[in-house]
Chain A
Amino acid sequence: MNKHPEKLISSYIDNELTGTARTELEEHLKSCSKCRELAEDLSSLKERINNFYSIFEAPETIEQRIMSAMMSTKSRFATAGLFSFVLLCLLFLVPLGTVIIKPLSAAFKILLHLFTVGQVVITADPNTTGRLILSAAVLMLATAWSLKYLLAMEEVN
């Protein structure tokens, strides 16, 4: 052991020195008044520091301050979350819109053209309307007859 193992004294008073090192230091302290004095001083210093700071307590208002700040953080999070959601929607929907709207617009145009063509065909032949009405009437009669037939079959069963 060193002549005056001062560096070990702090570890010793903090109970961080174990085994042989501790035993050797204890032996040394018995015979060395200088190191013993240092150990007593450091031990007393440790106690004074602890006593000094232990009297301080957080102000009573701190709890309320923390809880209010927590609540406002929560609402800020919610607002930020909503804002992010809207932003994300915009970010995704704008490119998505350009992809979807183009084919939709093309399909609508095709339907419009078909409608126009149909209109032209109908107006070109004056008998077309009459034929269509006749066809519809025949179709309705056929439907009514088949329905009646089905109901009759049900009754027989």
Chain B
Amino acid sequence: MNQELFNLISEARQGKSEAFTKIVKLYKDIVFRQAYAMLHDWMEAEDVTQEAFLKAYKSLSGLNSPYAFASWMSRIVCHLCYNHIHKKNKKDKLFADEGLESGVAAGRDPHDIVENRDLRLNIQAAMGTLSPDHRVVIILRDVQGFSYDEIAKILEIPVGTVKSRIHAARMDLRSKLARQEGGT
């Protein structure tokens, strides 16, 4: 964590909303990405992102150390996503194309986009078949880049469980992708 972020978090904890605005700027993509990967729904991911930052703003005083902000924020997103999944008993579905295209980072090569469309259909479909418990560990590790220890703390589960879930989820994805790609 750099000093600037540390200062921003400390200032936001003292109630300075300008500091929190800067934190939103820095973390919005990370938070949105996690929510989107969990829910596979553009609008719900937006709602979760908003809820997560509001929740963080209200309970920032409960953050033990500014250094733990990223994992603390990630835990909030996980809880919110689980709530959304639980409440709606949501079944994963394919992304709506318009929503997807509007979110893709601007300035990318059109070939990349076409290639990514195929890639995402496979990855997305395979990720959609995973249970939320398996999906979340893959997202925290492969998308967010947290260590096994950090994931264990975020999800409040033993490190051994993190290891076994990550491996089981990857094996599952591997076989599903092989079937998909073998069939096309």
Contact = CB atoms under 8 A, between A and B. Distances in A.
B96 interface: no
Given A45-B170, A49-B127, A50-B142, A66 B50 contact: yes
Given A14-B148, A67-B21, A49 B143 contact: yes
B65 to A, nearest CB: 23
A120 interface: no
Contacts of B170: 10, 42, 45-46
Contacts of B171: 6
Interface residues of B, number: 46
Nearest to A7: B167
B37 interface: yes
B28 A63 contact: yes
A102 B31 CA distance: 61
Given A50-B143, A63-B28, A56 B103 contact: yes
A16 B151 CA distance: 12
Contacts, number: 114
B24 A63 contact: yes
A69 interface: yes
Nearest to A41: B174
B36 A56 contact: yes
A65 B46 contact: yes
A63 to B, nearest CB: 6
A25 interface: no
B5 to A, nearest CB: 17
A9 B167 CA distance: 8
Contact of B49 (A49, A54, A58, A70): A58
Interface string B32-55: 110011000000001001100110
Interface in A59-75: 59, 62-63, 65-67, 69-70, 73
A52 B119 contact: yes
A91 interface: no
The 3 nearest A-B residue pairs measured at CB = A58-B32, A10-B167, A58-B28
Interface of B: 17, 20-21, 24-25, 28-29, 31-33, 36-37, 46, 49-50, 53-54, 57-58, 102-105, 108, 116, 119-120, 123-124, 127, 138-139, 141-143, 147-148, 163-164, 166-167, 170-171, 173-174, 177
29 contacts: A6-B171, A11-B148, A11-B167, A16-B147, A41-B174, A42-B174, A48-B119, A48-B123, A52-B119, A52-B123, A53-B36, A53-B37, A53-B142, A53-B143, A54-B33, A56-B104, A56-B105, A58-B32, A62-B28, A62-B32, A62-B46, A62-B49, A63-B24, A65-B50, A66-B49, A66-B54, A67-B21, A70-B53, A73-B57
Given A45-B177, A46-B170, 18 more contacts: A42-B174, A49-B173, A52-B116, A52-B119, A52-B123, A53-B36, A55-B103, A55-B116, A56-B33, A56-B37, A57-B29, A57-B33, A58-B31, A62-B46, A63-B28, A66-B49, A66-B54, A70-B57
